[in-house]
Amino acid sequence: MVQVFRALAIIAVVMIHTTPLGYYQVLCRPFINFSVATFLFLSGYLTKVENDNWGAFYKKRMVRVLIPYIIWTVLYTVSSRPIGQLPVNLLTAQAAAPLYYIFVYIQFVLLTPLLGKLATSRFRFLGWFVAPISVIVFKYYWLLTGLEMNPYFSLIWSDACLGWFSFYYLGLILGNQIIEKNHSLRPLVLLYFSSILLQMAEGYGWLMLGEANCGTQLKLSSLLTSSLFLLVAYSILKSGRFDIRNRLLRMLGDYSFGIYLCHMMVIHVLNAFVPIYKSIPYPITSLAVVLLSLCCCYLGDSVLRDKYSRWIGLR
């Protein structure tokens, strides 16, 4: 089921990056904003807080993402032509939207020993305040006051993992059974869909304030919805009652990292060279991008084989 949730998450990521602006952001985004939260949660869920060799842990996790990060930063920078921007892009993950989240993941990997100590201490409750307080400080204050964010604040917010803290932290806690939750699935699902209505209401409020990115994953209501989705996912994983064997979903899960890295390039190519793409309605555009990205990853993986395929991050 882990791969199925990865498949659902990567479909949602592509849908987010193909969602039209305006009311589509208000109405559609609440259903798919669980995407990055799910990837981070699963990473934490599959990570042990007790480790006798953190050096080996860092080597395995960092090499897994750093080499693809560098390669794709170069590719996205070259494709957008400001070659001189490459050093800045490498240091700030600004070459393409998906690369920022790899930056976030790297921060969580580096912080894992400290997060593990916090999660197993009597002060573990402090971890739940990091994301909401960060969102209030870095998003709500500037939005509600109409002031322009200080450049240094903007740099911190655009590269830091603060707003995503709850999801990796929740994965660590539940995956290591530091806290065991045995909620019934039905109430969780009802709460989840109720929170979607709340997220729509908040998104509409942001839109009325002139915020184009009103569908963002980093709103208080989005944090709530994604957390409830993850509790539903945890209940399903823990129960073992569901075993979806759909081959396409399994493939999407297996190639989710590659699709994550390349789908923005696929969108760029479709926009530039396939005129009919712009007339295809949403969310059919999302489906087309998902399938084309999967094909690219599968073909690339078949040609490059395991070692080199992993260097590029195709799987």
> From the first residue on, what is the mean pLDDT of each consecutive set of 10 residues in the chain (315 residues)?
94 97 96 97 95 92 93 92 84 90 95 96 96 94 84 83 96 91 82 96 94 93 97 87 82 96 96 92 96 96 86 88
Is-cis flag, bond preceding 283, omega within 30? yes
Q: With contact defined as beta carbons under 8 Å apart, do 34 and 228 qualify?
A: no
Report pLDDT for 152.
80
The string of DSSP letters for 123-184 reads: TGGGHHHHHHHHHIIIIIHHHHH-PPPPHHHHHHHHH-SGGGHHHHHHHHHHHTTSS-----
Report pLDDT for 156.
82
Q: With contact defined as beta carbons under 8 Å apart, do 198 and 226 qualify?
A: no
Of 34, 33, 61, nearest in space to 46 by CA: 61
List the Cα angle 98/299/243 in 5-degree steps.
75
Report pLDDT for 306.
78
Report pLDDT for 125.
95
Report pLDDT for 7.
96
Report pLDDT for 294.
97
Report pLDDT for 8.
96
Question: Tens digits of per-residue pLDDT, 33-91?
Answer: 999 999 999 999 999 999 989 999 999 999 889 999 999 999 999 988 777 789 989 98
Of 241, 253, 295, 289, nearest in space to 38 by CA: 253
48 φ, ψ (degrees, to nearest 5): -90, 135
Q: If phi over 0 gives left and psi between -120 and 50 gives alpha, with beta otherwise, what is residue 222?
A: alpha
Q: What separation, in Å, do the N-terminal and C-terminal C-alpha atoms of the chain show?
A: 17
Report pLDDT for 180.
73
Q: If phi over 0 gives left and psi between -120 and 50 gives alpha, with beta otherwise, what is residue 240?
A: left
266 φ, ψ (degrees, to nearest 5): -60, -45
Structure tokens at 226: 């994604």
Of 164, 179, 155, nearest in space to 130 by CA: 164
Q: How many residues make up the chain in this entry?
A: 315
Rounded to an integer, what distance in angstroms lies between the CA atom of residue 36 and that of residue 42?
10
Q: With contact defined as beta carbons under 8 Å apart, do 223 and 135 qualify?
A: yes
Instruction: Please state the pTM of the whole predicted model.
Output: 0.94
For the beta carbon of residue 78, count every other beta carbon within 10 angstroms: 12
Q: If phi over 0 gives left and psi between -120 and 50 gives alpha, with beta otherwise, what is residue 121?
A: beta
